[in-house]
Structure 1
Amino acid sequence: MKLSIAATLTYGFGGATQIIAAIEAARSPDQAILSEELSIAPGAALIHDEDPATGERRFRAALSGQVEIRYNAIVDNGMRAPLSSSARQHDWSELPRDVLPYLLPSRFCPSDEFMRFAQREFRMVQGGGARVLSVLDWLHTHLDYVHGVSHALTTAEQTFIDRAGVCRDFTHLGIALTRALNIPARAVSAYALDLDPPDFHAVYEVFLDGRWWLVDPTRLAPVEGLVRIASGRDAADIAFLTSEYNCQCLNQSITVVRLYDEADQQAA
């Protein structure tokens, strides 16, 4: 699937403020960046950082006053496969070293607190992929997507109690339950097709059968309509803007549109 992404972020900074931004699409085997443009007005010197392991990209800068950040890209996800129920769960001894941190509890995903519940609820499900799909079914059945129930400090424990939240809350609880089943899981920030209203989206990935699989615990966007930006242990690692001092978001606009080529139109 080919997607056109347009993001405009306008911020107000009281004085010279150092920031780290993660808004560019990651370079990964299942999403090809066909074209892109990043601009900042007024202009600023940027330091670009790219993680060779994940393909995610961030930039650093010192900004002041009112600043507008624009990012436009066309990304082709090809035929991204959804998680298979037959995807194999690895023994820990088989896992790559860089995957091991995603087995452990983190700030917003205290998976150790969910081990008894997860083992009791999902112990009869055989196979790694099937277990993760059962977790996603459980989230869909037991959580309501509701704005205003949670806040920036809400953890998976609180979401489990409230049984409601937004995408980051679904993701944190999904990660906690998945790790409690001894399956590596990491948070992912993404652009998402069909999201209403359009916004940055939080989903997660699981490591099964030798690779990472994208899943959307909210079921608001198709997996082929997701464009990875950044990944990490939880939301603390994937914020699209981190600043050393407080700043004000004055405006945010995000659009994700599917582009149809001639072959798509003929198939339709």
Structure 2
Amino acid sequence: MLIRFGFEIGINAPTPVPLILALSPHSSVPGRILGANKILTEPAMPVEEFIDPFGNRRARLVLVPGRSRLWSDDVIELDGQPDVFNWNARQHEIAHLPPETLPFLTASRYCDSDLLTQQAWDLFGSTQPGWARVQAISNYVHNHLTFGYKFGRPTKTASHAMSEATGVCRDFAHLAITLCRAMNIPARYASGYLGDVGVPPSGPGDFCAWFEAYLEDRWYTFDARYNTPRIGRVLMVRGRDAADGAMITSFGRYTLETFRVWTDELPDEADEAAVLTRLARLPDAPALTLAMAGTS
């Protein structure tokens, strides 16, 4: 399966502004990637790339005064399989968990599990430990929260989402993570691209947040927002919560003028040379998918 994914961000800054970005595919992403596989800029600016402690591919640059465009446009080859489902995956005792999973058991900036422990045990204490318990948590969050962009705010924690019963996709992920941690299940935040592959169109493209839970000696993907296995995820960031994978961290004032995201399935027979030619240009419209298929 071929997935074209990318973004375009237009920024206007009155003065030079340093930025730290988390807008590239994660260092662990499998599959062959066609394209530059990096953040491009207009006008041209030096971009320094590095890997953070969570394996996230970060970039640092300094915006020049005036209008700038940041973008990325690539194609990834994936296996086309939905998220792995394993109803029999067991939950580990804390004493037997690998040390690297332990940071994902405790409260963090947006996942205040210490405030929801009693509620979590009241809600899920009678569920079967393991996959069934995580799925029960995902089901609950999916049904408890009402999605809406107007409900998002940068200070909103899982306990806020719980009490307000509203949120954006990252709030769905934060609340599910928090309830898992309260039930002694390591859980971590994940975000990236998720297109409408195999599902009805859901509207304009955007980045999406989900979560991963550690069961049966591995991390499994869960998605409390959509609450069903999906095809074609392209992971960008992981962390304890969204604070560990902020898309844009700025050290100065700027105005966001353009924000566009695309994630589209391409025909398997798409010509690779034509794809690379198109990806070398600044994206001009979502209709480029047709050109890649060789129809124009």
**Structure 1-normalised TM-score?**
0.90
User: Are 2:125 and 1:123 equivalent residues in the alignment?
Assistant: yes
- Cα deviations across residues 106-161 of structure 1 (Å, max 9, x unaligned)? 11111011111111211221131111110111112221112312311111111111
- Unmatched runs of 5 consecutive residues or more in structure 2: 197-201, 270-296
Q: Is the 8 A contact 1:77 1:224 kept in 2?
A: no
The question of 1:197 aligning with 2:198 is answered: no
Superposed CA deviations along residues 1-41 of structure 1, whole A, max 9, x for unmatched, are 43110211111222111111111111326x32421323111
1:223 to 230, 236, 240: 230
CA distance in structure 2 between the partners assigned to 1:77 and 1:25 by the alignment: 13
CA distance in 2, matches of 1:56, 1:151: 23
**Which residue is equivalent to 1:60?**
60
1:65-104 aligned at under 5 Å gives the runs 65=65, 66-78=67-79, 79-104=81-106
In structure 2, what is the Cα distance between the partners aligned to 1:35 and 1:88? Answer: 38
Deviation for aligned residue 1:55: 4.1
- Within 5 A, what are the aligned runs for 1:83-232? 83-194=85-196, 195-219=202-226, 222-232=229-239
Determine the structure 2 residue equivalent to 1:35: 34
Contact 2:193 2:208 in 1 (8 A): yes
- Counterpart CA distance in 1 for 2:246 and 2:32 is 21
d(CA) in 2 for partners of 1:238, 1:55: 10
Find out whether 1:245 has 2:252 as its counterpart.
Answer: yes
Q: 1:76 to 1:94 in 2, by over 3 A?
A: farther
Q: d(CA) in 2 for partners of 1:80 and 1:100?
A: 28
- Following the alignment from structure 1 to structure 2, what is the Cα–Cα distance between the partners of residues 259 and 208? 33
After TM superposition, give the deviation of residue 60 of structure 1 in Å: 0.7
Verify the 8 A CA contact 1:27 1:54 in the aligned structure 2. no
1:82-118 deviation line (CA, Å, top 9, x unaligned): 3422112122233222221110101111101111111
Matched, 1:50 2:57: no
Task: Give the structure with higher Rg (CA).
Answer: 2
- Note if contact 1:27-1:33 (Cα within 8 Å) is conserved in structure 2: no
> Where in structure 1 are there 5+ consecutive unaligned residues?
263-268
The answer to which of 220-229 and 65-74 deviates more is 220-229
Classify 1:95/1:10 alpha carbon distance in 2 versus 1 (closer, same or farther; 3 Å): same
Per-residue deviation at 1:54?
Answer: 5.1
Q: Distance in 1 between matches of 2:250 and 2:163?
A: 31
Matched, 1:14 2:7: no
**Does the CA contact (< 8 Å) of 1:26 and 1:54 recur in 2?**
no
Q: Secondary structure at the match of 1:148?
A: helix
Structure 1 or 2: more strand by fraction: 1
Q: How many residues align?
A: 260
Displacement of 1:80: 4.8
Shift of 1:229: 0.3
Inter-partner Cα distance in structure 2 for 1:15 and 1:144: 39
User: What residue identity is the alignment partner of 2:238?
Assistant: S
Which letter does structure 1 place at the counterpart of 2:140?
W
Identical pairs, percent: 31
